[in-house]
């Protein structure tokens, strides 16, 4: 296989395949040809002739789709049984190396863009733009309260209006792409409470206002109904999890569901799980999960904008390439399979501010492309039969293999 160079002007690459899902439509386009120049797609057509002198890669009957976009990952968490402890044991350089491995895992699984919603010490910012890694949109350490959810990541702010404005200001200075704020407690942090807000409505509003003043979006980790309501009222651009978690169950008031839909506050649904023998979500999650799915379905029916944010890295069932499992749960929420594929490509790209160059196979867009064996719209399982991945025009080594697995040996691209 030819690997295009990304420095200087190399030869054009022309990918020929059986079908194409372009990230926006519902129907597959037959006999596509996608022409790549360096890191960019320059032409897409059905039954087109390859430009003279281009290197042609013939993928036979494979389907091409845009590289996947995960709106919520944690590169710093290593998807082990104790990701928090593992990170605590690493110094910054060791953590950085683990984050690189996490990024490579994502890429091999077709996830070519990730939004990292919580690292330690702003480590993810230094990985942006590195070859061999996904495109990274980075929040740095989430803004939280003293002792609050994920306080150990270093993002503690004084829980006052001045305190959170200063915290946002520090992140602006560091050059983050988005602000993540912990509006409620969370499962990964003993001593915090998922069913309770962490900030007062006024303080949350100040954080959002300060971020918007600097042109940054805010997405709020919000489990508790009160935290969800406060984040929406504060004008947060997005919500993560949105479980409506109460002390003993969940409670999603109809008017709050309608408000989220009406305000166009993006719902980052925590979907996608890789079955691991002997491993299940904790009992308090398991008991609530059917109710959370039902409430997310109500959000979908109310017209809310829903994307998949897997929370990759936080557990063994959430490896960094888990996003291709997300459509299974999105269909439970009421998505059709084509809608689900849009949610993890073009819609996700738009939500994280990269709708102009990610999530579509179209001229002018980044050459982030996934080739799978089969029709991913008619047969969801095809998404797991990865034949090749390109990230910004570069072929990803060992595409389709998961850590600890041998690289896929089943059908490789055939040269015809």
Cα 103 from Cα 320, distance rounded (Å): 7
CB burial of 62-73 (b: ≥16 within 10 Å; e: otherwise) equals: bbbbbbbbbbbb
Cα 156 from Cα 138, distance rounded (Å): 17
Q: How far is the CB of 186 from Zn ion (least distance, A)?
A: 8
Cα 86 from Cα 280, distance rounded (Å): 20
Residues in the interface with Zn ion (CB under 5 A) total 1
Pick the stretch among 4-12, 260-268, 308-316, 330-338 that binds Zn ion (CB under 5 A): 308-316
Among 22, 311, 368, 373, binds Zn ion (CB under 5 A): 311
Pick the stretch among 45-53, 278-286, 311-319, 401-409 that binds Zn ion (CB under 5 A): 311-319
- 3-class DSSP state for residue 382? helix
The residue among 311 and 366 lying less far from Zn ion, judged by its C-beta, is 311
Q: How far is the CB of 365 from Zn ion (least distance, A)?
A: 27
Cα 261 from Cα 307, distance rounded (Å): 13
Per-residue contact flags (x/-) with Zn ion for residues 255 to 294, judged by CB under 5 A: ----------------------------------------
Q: What are phi and psi of 383, to 5 degrees?
A: -60, -20
Q: How far is the CB of 83 from Zn ion (least distance, A)?
A: 11
The residue among 230 and 311 lying less far from Zn ion, judged by its C-beta, is 311
Q: How far is the CB of 277 from Zn ion (least distance, A)?
A: 25
Q: How far is the CB of 62 from Zn ion (least distance, A)?
A: 33
The residue among 245 and 365 lying less far from Zn ion, judged by its C-beta, is 245
- The per-residue DSSP string of 79-124 comes to SSS-HHHHHHTS-HHHHHHHHHHHHHHHHHTTEEEEEE---STTGG
∠ CA 168-68-185, nearest 5°, is 40
The residue among 237 and 311 lying less far from Zn ion, judged by its C-beta, is 311
Q: How far is the CB of 225 from Zn ion (least distance, A)?
A: 19
The residue among 161 and 311 lying less far from Zn ion, judged by its C-beta, is 311
The residue among 84 and 259 lying less far from Zn ion, judged by its C-beta, is 84
- Here the tokens at position 113 are 């863009």
User: Is the alpha carbon torsion for 149, 351, 303, 236 positive or negative?
Assistant: positive
Q: How far is the CB of 246 from Zn ion (least distance, A)?
A: 20
Pick the stretch among 21-29, 212-220, 307-315, 356-364 that binds Zn ion (CB under 5 A): 307-315
CB burial of 96-116 (b: ≥16 within 10 Å; e: otherwise) equals: bebbeebbbbbbbbbbbbbbb
Cα 373 from Cα 401, distance rounded (Å): 14
Pick the stretch among 97-105, 224-232, 310-318, 333-341 that binds Zn ion (CB under 5 A): 310-318
Pick the stretch among 27-35, 49-57, 303-311, 400-408 that binds Zn ion (CB under 5 A): 303-311
The residue number whose beta carbon is nearest to Zn ion equals 311
The residue among 312 and 370 lying less far from Zn ion, judged by its C-beta, is 312
Q: How far is the CB of 194 from Zn ion (least distance, A)?
A: 13
Pick the stretch among 243-251, 305-313, 381-389, 395-403 that binds Zn ion (CB under 5 A): 305-313
Q: How far is the CB of 369 from Zn ion (least distance, A)?
A: 27
The residue among 240 and 373 lying less far from Zn ion, judged by its C-beta, is 240
Q: What is the DSSP letter of 67?
A: P
CA distances from 331 to 271, 337, 342, 343, 379 (A): 11, 7, 12, 11, 13
Cα 228 from Cα 341, distance rounded (Å): 26
Pick the stretch among 107-115, 173-181, 309-317, 385-393 that binds Zn ion (CB under 5 A): 309-317
- The per-residue DSSP string of 311-327 comes to -BTSSTTS-TTGGGGHH
∠ CA 160-163-166, nearest 5°, is 150
In the complex, the residues that contact Zn ion under the rule CB under 5 A are 311
């Amino acid at each position: 296989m030819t690997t295009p160079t990304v420095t200087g002007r190399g030869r054009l690459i022309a990918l020929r395949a059986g079908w194409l899902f372009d990230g926006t439509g519902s129907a597959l386009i037959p006999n596509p040809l996608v022409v790549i120049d360096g890191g960019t797609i320059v032409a897409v057509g059905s039954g087109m002739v390859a430009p003279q002198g281009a290197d042609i890669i013939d993928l036979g009957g494979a389907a091409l789709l845009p590289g996947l976009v995960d709106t919520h990952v944690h590169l710093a968490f290593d998807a082990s049984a104790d990701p928090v402890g593992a990170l605590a044991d690493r110094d910054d350089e060791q953590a950085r190396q683990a984050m690189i491995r996490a990024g490579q895992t994502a890429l091999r699984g077709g996830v070519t863009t990730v939004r990292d919603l919580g690292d330690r010490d702003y480590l993810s910012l230094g990985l942006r733009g590195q070859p061999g890694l996904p495109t990274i949109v980075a929040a740095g350490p989430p803004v939280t309260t003293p002792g609050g959810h994920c306080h150990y990541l270093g993002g503690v702010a004084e829980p006052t209006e001045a305190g959170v404005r200063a915290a946002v200001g520090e992140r602006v200075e560091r050059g983050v792409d988005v602000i993540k704020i912990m509006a409620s407690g969370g499962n990964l942090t003993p001593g915090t409470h998922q069913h309770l807000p962490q900030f007062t409505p006024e303080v949350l509003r100040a954080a959002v206002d300060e971020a918007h003043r600097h042109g940054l979006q805010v997405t709020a980790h919000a489990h508790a109904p009160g935290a969800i309501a406060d984040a929406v009222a504060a004008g947060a651009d997005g919500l993560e999890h949105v479980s409506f978690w109460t002390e003993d169950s969940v409670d999603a008031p109809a008017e709050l569901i309608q408000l989220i839909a009406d305000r166009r506050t993006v719902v980052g649904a925590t979907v996608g799980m890789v079955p691991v023998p002997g491993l299940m979500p904790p009992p308090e999650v398991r008991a609530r999960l059917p109710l959370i799915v039902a409430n997310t379905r109500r959000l979908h029916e109310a017209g809310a904008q829903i994307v998949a944010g897997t929370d990759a890295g936080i557990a063994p069932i959430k490896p960094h390439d888990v996003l291709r499992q997300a459509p299974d749960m999105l269909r439970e929420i009421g998505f059709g399979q084509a809608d689900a594929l849009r949610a993890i490509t073009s819609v996700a790209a738009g939500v994280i501010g990269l709708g102009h160059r990610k999530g579509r196979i179209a001229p002018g867009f980044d050459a982030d492309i996934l080739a799978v064996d089969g029709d991913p719209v008619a047969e969801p399982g095809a998404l797991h039969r990865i034949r090749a991945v390109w990230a910004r025009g570069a072929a990803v080594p060992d595409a389709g293999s998961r850590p600890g697995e041998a690289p896929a040996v089943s059908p490789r691209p055939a040269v015809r």
